[in-house]
Structure 1
Amino acid sequence: MVRPLFARRRPPPEHAGIYPNWVLLDTVVRGANYDWEKMSIAECSSSLATTARTFVDVRSEAESKEEVVVEVEVSFLFASPPDVSGFVVHVGDYGLSYGASVVSTDGNAVLLAITMAMFNLQRYLVYRVDQGNPSLEVLPERPMLKFHPTKVVGILSHGKGYIVAALTLKLKIDYLAYELFLYTSQTKAWSSKVIPLECTRDADLIHVLNHHTTKVITVGVDSLGWVDLWRGILFCNVLDENPVVRFLSFPCPMPSNACNLGTSCPRPFRDVICIGNTLKFVEVEYNQGEDDTDYGSNTDHGWKATTQKRNLGSEWTECFSVDTSDILLTDESWDLLSHRLRDDDARQLSLSKLECLAPTLGIDDDYLYMMTRPLGSNEKPLGLFASVDIKNKDMRLVSFSTERMSYIDPNYRPCTVSRYFNNTSVAGKPLKSKNKKAAPRFIIGENLR
C-alpha cells in the first residue's frame, strides 16, 4: 500500500525568470511542515518544475504487512546568492525522525540522506536535473558500518549517469592503501576495492596519516577529493578502471592560525573549491588582542582574507588579499545593522566590531561569504550573512536563518544544480545551454606533487 503525502504548507510562489547559475545550498533539508519563509529574508522561489517524487520500499522494516512503499517528494527552493537556497522533503505521513541532509553535490546531481520516522534505516536519494526536469532515485542500502554515512561520501556526475563514492584508510603491513566504495547508476549496486596510495613526499606522509576529511569535492571531470582543510586533499580518479589515491598539500597556515593546526576545527579559517581544473583556496587570519576573551566595545575583531589558486601543473599563487580596514559596507547593510542594534551601539559600530567566521568561496565570482553578527550577539533564528567582494573590497549583509546551524561550521555550500533548470523548452524548442564548455580532465599525476 502506498502511504499518501500529508497536508503541507502553502507552496512558495512560482518562479518567474531565469534560475541562478549557482546557489548557496543549505545542507539541512527541511521537513514538510517547515516554514520556507524562515530560510531567508529574501523570497525563495519554487514550483512544480523543481519537485521530484519517488517510492521507497519499506517492507523489511514495516510493522504492518500492508506497508509496502512510502512516497517521497523533494522540492528545491532557490534564491540568488548571497541568500541561501534549500530542499524541502515530504515523506508520506511519517515525517523525518533524524532529519535529512545534503551529503554532496556535483553538477546536476545532489546526494541526500534521509531517515524516516518509525524506520531506523538511513537512506540515500539522488536528486538530478536532466534537460530541466528533476528526478529522484533511491539507492540500495549502503555497506553498513564500513564508512561514515555523510562525512566521507561524495557524488560525481558524468555523461552516463553518476557515481557515489566513499574512501577509508586501510593499513597494510608494508604500505598505505585505501578501500574505495562505489555505487554506480549504471549497475545500480555497491562495490568496493582496495586501491594504492601512490608515492608521496616524505614531508606529506605525516599529513596523509593524520588526514581527517572535512568535506568531499569534485575535481575536474573524473575525480573526487577528500579534503582536510588543515592539511590537503586526497584525490582519487574514481572513473578510472584502476583508480589510485594521491595527496596534494595546502599552503602553510597564516602565522596566527598555525597554533590551531590539528587542534581546532579548520572551518572558521579556511575553505577550498575546484572549478574545472583550478583549485581556489582561502584563509582568514583574525586580529588578536592582548586578551582574546575580552569582548568589550574596544575589541578589534577585524580580519584579513587571502585567496590562492592552483592550476594543473603549477604551484599555489596568491590572487587577492583584503583587510576589514579596506572594506566598504553598502548603505542598505548599514541600515540593516542599525535596525538590529541600540542607538548607542549603532553609532559606535565598525566592521571591526562584527564577528565574522567560516569563509565560503563562491562559484564564478570573486566573492567570499561569511557568517557574521554584531559583537557578542547570540541572536537566533535569524543571523547575518556577509558577502565580501574581495576584488573591489566592499561588503553586503543579508539576514538568513541560523536554525540548526553551528556558528563555527555553517551548513551551506556552493551548488550548481539550479543552472540545469534553465535548459528547458519554449514553444517546443530547447533553449541553448549557457553553461561553459566542460573543463579538461584533471590528471592526477606527477604535476600534483
Structure 2
Amino acid sequence: MDDGDEPVPYVMDEGVLLPLLFPPPLPADDDATGGVSPSWVYLEDRAYVSPDAVSNSTTAFSTTTTGVSIHVSFCLARPPRLSYLCVHCPRPGDGEGAYRFTVDPQVLGTHTNVALLRVPHPNDGLHRGIKSYDYFVYTARPGPGASSLRLLPNPRVSPFRNEEVAIVRCSGGARYVIACLMPTIRRPMEFKIRRFDSDVGRWKSTAVSISEPVERDRVLPIPDTASQVVFHCTTKVITLGGTIGWVDLWRGILLCDDVLDQHPVLRDLPLPKPARSNRKSFCRGPPHHYRDITVVVQDSVPTCIKYVEMETRPGDRPPPRQRQPPQHSDDSDSDEEEDVAYYWKANIWSMPIPVGSWEDWQMECTVDVTDIAVDNVRFSELLPKIGNDPEETLRRLVTGFPTLGMDGDVISFLSKINRLDDKGWVISVDLRSKTLQGVAEIDERKYFLFERYYNTSEISKYLIKATGEAGTLVKTGVNSRVSKKKM
C-alpha cells in the first residue's frame, strides 16, 4: 500500500453472521427438587447467543480483547434434557441490540467448578486463526452474582483443536491448569503439551515423551483399511482427579499424571478390542457415532473409567420421509441406505481407578435395544409415534452417538426417525434395569445434523438456583456494566 492510500474498511456481510437465538425456558418439573442442581448434566458444547440482555444467578461478566462487554450464564436441566451456556454481547448504548458471531461460542471443557470457554470476536468476518478468538475461564461459585469470568492471554503461536484441550482444577486451592496435547510434525509418537498455569498467567510449551511399554500397536494395530494412519488422534479428553487422559476413541488413552512437571510423561492405555462385527469398520471415519468414554464420579471422587462401543445389525426400515431433506444439511455421509434403522446393542466396559494395565478392562454389561422396556407412560408419550408400541418405536429409530453418564448407571443416545430430519431426541436408558429412563426433544433451531453436540459435566454441583423456573434467564432490560471485582 502506498503512503497516500487510505485503508479500505471491512464491510461485514450479514449473511456470514449466525442468527441470535433466545434460549428455551428450563423445564418447570425440575422445580420439584427444591432448586437443588443435579450432580452432573449433559452440557451443550455450543452456546446460545441471546439478542437480549438476560441473567440468572449464574451470570458472570467480563470484556473481550476488542473491548466488547460479554455476559455468560449457565442454564441447567436434569438429564436427558440438555443444559446450556448463554452468551450476550451488548452493543454500546441502550436499545442497540447485541453483537453477532460468525462462529458459535463454545464450552471446550469443564472440571469441578471451572469451565474453559472459547469466544470468537463479535461481528468479526476476518478469520485470522487463533487470534480471532478469546479464551475465558468461568469459575462457578454459590450465590447470585458470585461466579466470575476471567479473560486469558491468547495462546497465539500454537492453535489447537477443541478435542485436544482440558482444564483441571488443582486440589486444595484456586489454581487450575489448561493443557493441550498436540502432535509434532516430525515423528508420529512425539508430542508437546501447550499449557496455561493460572498461578503463572502465561502459556508454555513442553515436549513430552511416552513411557514404555507402548502396547497400542501390539493390542490394536492400525488396519490397512484405516482412513488415516496415525499413532494417536485425540477425539476426547477425560480427567481423573489431577490426571488428564487424551483419548483416541479408536485405539487408546494417553495419560499424564502431572502436566506441571518439568518433564511430563505420558502412559499408553489401549482401549478394549473392537467387537467382531465392528472389525471391518475399525479406524474408519469419526468414532463418536458408536463410541464414548467417561469418568464415573462418586462423592466428587473419580472411581472408574467407563467405555462403550455400539454394535448394529439390520432391523426395520423407518417410515418414508414426509418431505425433502433440508437444504441446509451438509452431511457428507447422508446416503439413502443410511436410513435403515439398524438394531443395536451397546457393550459397556469399565476400568478401575487408579488405572492399571490394558488387561484390567472388564466387560460390565450389554444393553440391547430389543430388551429395553418402556414402563413409564410419560416417557412413552414423549417418543415419536412410528410404531405400534413404544418398544417398537425404539427399535425403528435411527440411533447413535452414545454418551455415558457420570453416575455410571445411565447411557444416552441421539435418535431420529430419519437421519436427515431436523427433529431429534435424546433418549436415556438405565444400564441396570434396561428401562427407558427419559426422553428429551432437542432444539432443532440450533441442531439439525445427526451428530453429538453435548458432553457430561459436573459443574452443575457448584451452581445454585440454575434449574427450573429459578434458572430460566430473565431479560434485564438494560445492558449491565462489567463487574469490577477481581476475577
Q: TM-score, normalised by structure 1?
A: 0.78
1:302 offset after TM fit, Å?
A: 1.6
1:417 offset after TM fit, Å?
A: 0.7
| Match in the other structure for 1:71 | 69
- The residue matched to 1:257 in structure 2 has which SS? helix
Question: Equivalent of 1:24, from 42, 46, 67?
Answer: 42
Change (3 A) 1:199 1:142: same
1:332 offset after TM fit, Å?
A: 2.2
Is the counterpart of residue 223 in structure 1 residue 237 in structure 2? no
| Match in the other structure for 2:426 | 385
Residue type at the aligned position of 2:293: V
- The residue matched to 1:240 in structure 2 has which SS? coil
Superposed CA RMSD in Å reads 3.3
Contact kept, 8 Å, 2:49 with 2:86, in 1: the verdict is: yes
Q: Structure 1 CA distance, aligned partners of 2:186 and 2:379?
A: 56
Deviation string, structure 1 residues 278-331 (Cα, Å, up to 9, x no partner): 1111111111369996689xx662211111111133600111112112111232
Question: What does 1:80-229 correspond to in 2, within 5 Å?
Answer: 80-93=78-91, 94-119=99-124, 120=127, 121-132=132-143, 133-144=146-157, 146-158=158-170, 159-170=173-184, 176-201=189-214, 203-204=216-217, 209-219=230-240, 221-229=241-249
1:241 offset after TM fit, Å?
A: 3.8
Residue type at the aligned position of 1:334: S
Contact kept, 8 Å, 1:333 with 1:398, in 2: the verdict is: no
- The residue matched to 1:25 in structure 2 has which SS? strand
Contact kept, 8 Å, 2:111 with 2:459, in 1: the verdict is: yes
Question: What does 1:347-358 correspond to in 2, within 5 Å?
Answer: 349-358=392-401
| Match in the other structure for 1:331 | 377
- The residue matched to 2:395 in structure 1 has which SS? helix
1:397 offset after TM fit, Å?
A: 2.2
Question: What does 1:3-42 correspond to in 2, within 5 Å?
Answer: 17-33=35-51
Contact kept, 8 Å, 2:81 with 2:439, in 1: the verdict is: no
1:359 offset after TM fit, Å?
A: 0.5
Q: Structure 1 CA distance, aligned partners of 2:24 and 2:348?
A: 40
Deviation string, structure 1 residues 200-238 (Cα, Å, up to 9, x no partner): 33553756943111111212x222111111111111231
Larger strand percent = 1
Q: Structure 1 CA distance, aligned partners of 2:370 and 2:169?
A: 42
1:118 offset after TM fit, Å?
A: 3.6
Is the counterpart of residue 285 in structure 1 residue 328 in structure 2? no
Contact kept, 8 Å, 1:284 with 1:304, in 2: the verdict is: yes
Q: Structure 2 CA distance, aligned partners of 1:363 and 1:347?
A: 27
Q: Structure 1 CA distance, aligned partners of 2:182 and 2:380?
A: 47
- The residue matched to 1:351 in structure 2 has which SS? helix
| Match in the other structure for 1:359 | 402
Q: Structure 2 CA distance, aligned partners of 1:178 and 1:71?
A: 37
- Structure with more relative contact order (C-alpha pairs < 8 Å, separation 6 or more): 2
Between the aligned residues of both structures, percent identity stands at: 29
| Match in the other structure for 2:263 | 242
Long gaps (5+) in structure 2:
1-19, 92-98, 223-228, 297-301, 318-334, 467-487
Q: TM-score, normalised by structure 2?
A: 0.72
Contact kept, 8 Å, 1:78 with 1:86, in 2: the verdict is: yes
- The residue matched to 1:332 in structure 2 has which SS? helix
Change (3 A) 1:406 1:274: farther
- The residue matched to 1:130 in structure 2 has which SS? coil
